[in-house]
Structure 1
Amino acid sequence: MHVLRVLELFLLQPLVWLGLIRCYLAARRRVRYERHHFRSAIDAHYLEVRNFFKGGLLLGLIATVISLGLGLVVSPVWAVIYETLAILSLLIVPTGLVPWTVFGLSWLAYWALNPRLMAQFNTRLQAHGVTPLGLNSGVIISGLLIFALGLAATAILLKRHETQLNSPEIRPDQRGKRIVRYRWQQLLVLPVGVLIPGDWLHATLSWWPVFQVGTQHFSVLLLPLLLGVSAQVYKQRPQLAWRRLAKGYWLVAALSVILAVVARLTTLSPQWLVGLLGGVVVLVWVILAQHRYHDQHQQFWFSDTDQGVRVIGLRPNTPADKLNLSIGDVILECNRQPVHSEAQFYAALLTSPTYVHLKVRNVQQQLIITETAIYNGAPHELGIVLFTDQED
């Protein structure tokens, strides 16, 4: 029962609901775009919202077990600073995701407040049962480990196929030719259980769980950790690009853990530790910059073509799943008829209402033959998304 009440208090925090609203708006914008440009949504279910709950709760449970097992203690003042900055970031940057920048800025702000301004609030905080924490090494080490947990959770999301939807967005290039951009933009608010010094929550809510270690009391708080990444590709297969990006996140997460262990075994000053925390935040931006650089220097795949019709999307749970197609493949023939436009492709489909036979050139420039049954009388339910025909 206490666990449910702790979760209930987490759900009452404004950052959770603001993040959910952002996910809903992003999902609605995607579905409208797909219906406008491709006649129907690639996935009409609001996958971003489902991932917000499904992925957030499962990963949050794992992160909470690890966090409480390590005994990660954070300052309640830092928690307030962090959540305030996270809320502002979602309001000020409505189309972007900057969670790790917010995380780094929260520690910079906490460092700026210590010790000049915090001394003024210590007496008031103690009067309400809050044990103030100064800028000490233990708190910053907890910050490094929380940062690592968040990066690891983001890497897991990037590698999980069921959380990814490769939705194409049509863009013109410099020559007026149509090209496709694929974007991965998933936002989560991860419930990470942390220890807060003092029994101020228990004093207000008598049922709130309190732990005692020696003479020190700790309350458990589910910290709303903002996660997410906004990445895009023009010249890479999306799934391969997301996996490569996930490897970079894993490396930075591992580095954060190593730095935390080194800091625990040495006597680095808090100022140095804040600098190290800022350094790993910068590394995340380096990983994203490397991702963009790598994409810009790849062979271009996702453009309109005069030889056949290019596959730019595949709807889940359709006959297309059995055709062994990939994004970027070019369909040269449908039911043994050459095709050069979307209209020709669907006209060829109608010649065989229950079966489709395709000749395809894949992204490795290999010719393959693939076939499968389709829905009788519903060629548009095949599940292959193509460039729509341009009007003259």
Structure 2
Amino acid sequence: MVLAFLTELGYGFLRLFMNPVFYMAFILSFVLAFRRIHKERLHFHTRVYDVVTNLYQMLIPGLIAGFILYGLFIGLGLMLSEGIIVLLMAVTMLFGLTLRPRFLSPAFVIFFTTVIIVFMPKWEVNHAVLNRWMEGIQVAFLPYLFLLMTIFLIAEAMLIMFQAKRSSSPRRVIGKRGKPIGGFATESLWLVPTFLLIPGSGLERLEWWPFFGMGESFAFIFVPFLIGYEQFQTYDLPVRALRRDGKRLAVIAFVALPLAVFALLYDWLVIAFLGMALLSFCRVALYVHERKQNARRPALYTLRNQGVQILAIVPKSPAADMNVKVGEVIRRVNGIEVNNAIQFYEALQTSPTFFKLDVLDEHGELRFEQRALYENEHHALGLLFVDKPRAKYSEAEEA
């Protein structure tokens, strides 16, 4: 039994490499990375993160989330037909072609798949594999999809709270009053591969497992799910904004979780459909709410009469080793007052081997930071400031 179980797991793992979504994830990651770098160079004449960072952020957190979900799905025996998995992957590819990560939220991908399942007419084609897939697309799987959506929304919320901040890219834009402000564009994509059960030959059902499965036999399939997230905001630190957005999504998903479990236990098809529709609506509402907040609240990153405000810190730069943070204001460099980026660079050149900064934190308290400068280190310390934008982007265009 153990050998048969491991063999089926191996076959299920190999199916991953037959799935085009797996390869599409890497293409999307590279496209989003090059698009981000292009915008960063337009705004700052330098990039903040490289392409490899995008790839790392897509794979490592997603693999960890997928491993956790693997234990949950295998333990519960969560099952979908092969036809529905193919349909899910087709919808994922369709939404991925938009190059907008927000459309790859499980709330949109799974609900759109559900709408197709409910309203798709019965077709017969002269192809055995396609006929098998079509026969497996049944409304009986709606409660399974409801539970799948709820669990993946919890995973999305956790990834937003703890990982999305690593994908926040700074921007200089023109605000509503025509003045330069700073903001952050977050475009995150996570590849979350995990095992599901599919009805069919392979392993025989045990007396107690799969708990939620159908039929008397089943097989494993390793499915590469994609989770996307997108946000642009100017009124708060990215860490706080993303944590707040993730918590709101987590609350919604955890509230829906008991309903999804009962819908599966008691085969509530209508409740499952309405529940997924409501979750999809709530996901849209969160995006709309954040956008309205961004439009209504004053910008945090603005030009200052005294000092220059830090908008971003380039990784592996001298500033990254210092105790300076995004949102803080540098008032003086080597005792010289600075009010824009040019003055900052000029003051920095007055002492090529050592510098001292007067830094005003978010609480209005002044402190001093100092450090030696070494040969071949970043000429501007790796600090990016709120300043006049080099590209003609407005706040509305970024949002």
Question: Same fold judged by TM-score > 0.5?
Answer: yes
Kindly indicate whether the alpha-carbon contact (under 8 Å) linking 1:51 and 1:163 is maintained by their aligned counterparts in 2.
no
Which amino acid in the other structure matches residue 65 of structure 2? L
Alignment of 1:342-361 (within 5 A): 342-361=341-360
Deviations 1:194-226 (A, max 9, x none): 111112xxxxxxxxx534346611111122322
Kindly indicate whether the alpha-carbon contact (under 8 Å) linking 1:335 and 1:352 is maintained by their aligned counterparts in 2.
yes
Asked if 1:339 corresponds to 2:338, the answer is: yes
* Among 23, 33, 37, the residue aligned to 2:29: 23
**DSSP-derived class of the 1:380 partner:** coil
* Among 84, 97, 102, the residue aligned to 2:102: 97
Relative to structure 1, the CA distance from residue 271 to residue 176 in structure 2 (aligned partners, 3 Å threshold; closer, same or farther) is same
Alpha-carbon distance in 2 for matches of 1:90, 1:129 = 22
- CA drift of 1:357 comes to 1.6
Kindly indicate whether the alpha-carbon contact (under 8 Å) linking 1:319 and 1:373 is maintained by their aligned counterparts in 2.
no
- With 347-356 and 337-346 compared, the bigger mean Cα shift is at 347-356
Which amino acid in the other structure matches residue 38 of structure 1? F
- CA drift of 1:130 comes to 9.7
- Name the counterpart of 1:227: 227
- CA drift of 1:55 comes to 2.0
- CA drift of 1:173 comes to 2.3
Asked if 1:9 corresponds to 2:15, the answer is: yes
- CA drift of 1:333 comes to 0.5
**DSSP-derived class of the 1:157 partner:** helix
Kindly indicate whether the alpha-carbon contact (under 8 Å) linking 2:333 and 2:357 is maintained by their aligned counterparts in 1.
yes
- CA drift of 1:159 comes to 2.4
Deviations 1:130-169 (A, max 9, x none): 9846322xx3232122212322222222222586133212
Higher relative CO (CA 8 A, sep ≥ 6), structure 1 or 2? 2
Asked if 1:254 corresponds to 2:254, the answer is: yes
TM-score (norm 2): 0.84
Which amino acid in the other structure matches residue 82 of structure 1? L
Structure 2: runs of 5 or more not aligned? 1-5, 208-214, 391-399
Structure 1: runs of 5 or more not aligned? 200-208
- Name the counterpart of 2:396: none
- Name the counterpart of 2:393: none
Relative to structure 1, the CA distance from residue 96 to residue 65 in structure 2 (aligned partners, 3 Å threshold; closer, same or farther) is closer
Which amino acid in the other structure matches residue 111 of structure 1? V
- CA drift of 1:314 comes to 0.6
Asked if 1:106 corresponds to 2:110, the answer is: no
Identity %: 22
**DSSP-derived class of the 1:333 partner:** strand
- CA drift of 1:292 comes to 2.4
- CA drift of 1:265 comes to 5.2
Deviations 1:4-31 (A, max 9, x none): 5533321331112222211101111222
Which amino acid in the other structure matches residue 220 of structure 2? V
Alignment of 1:1-392 (within 5 A): 2=7, 3=9, 5-91=11-97, 93-99=98-104, 100-113=107-120, 117=122, 132=136, 134-136=138-140, 139-160=141-162, 164-199=166-201, 210-213=203-206, 216-264=216-264, 266=266, 268=268, 270-376=269-375, 378=377, 380=379, 382-387=381-386
Relative to structure 1, the CA distance from residue 147 to residue 267 in structure 2 (aligned partners, 3 Å threshold; closer, same or farther) is closer
**In the comparison of the two structures, how many residue pairs are matched?**
375
Deviations 1:88-121 (A, max 9, x none): 1122x224531221210101111123xx516x58
Kindly indicate whether the alpha-carbon contact (under 8 Å) linking 2:117 and 2:138 is maintained by their aligned counterparts in 1.
no
TM-score (norm 1): 0.85
- CA drift of 1:63 comes to 1.0
Kindly indicate whether the alpha-carbon contact (under 8 Å) linking 1:375 and 1:381 is maintained by their aligned counterparts in 2.
no
**DSSP-derived class of the 1:289 partner:** helix
- CA drift of 1:263 comes to 2.2
Kindly indicate whether the alpha-carbon contact (under 8 Å) linking 2:345 and 2:380 is maintained by their aligned counterparts in 1.
no
Kindly indicate whether the alpha-carbon contact (under 8 Å) linking 1:184 and 1:229 is maintained by their aligned counterparts in 2.
yes
Relative to structure 1, the CA distance from residue 44 to residue 375 in structure 2 (aligned partners, 3 Å threshold; closer, same or farther) is farther
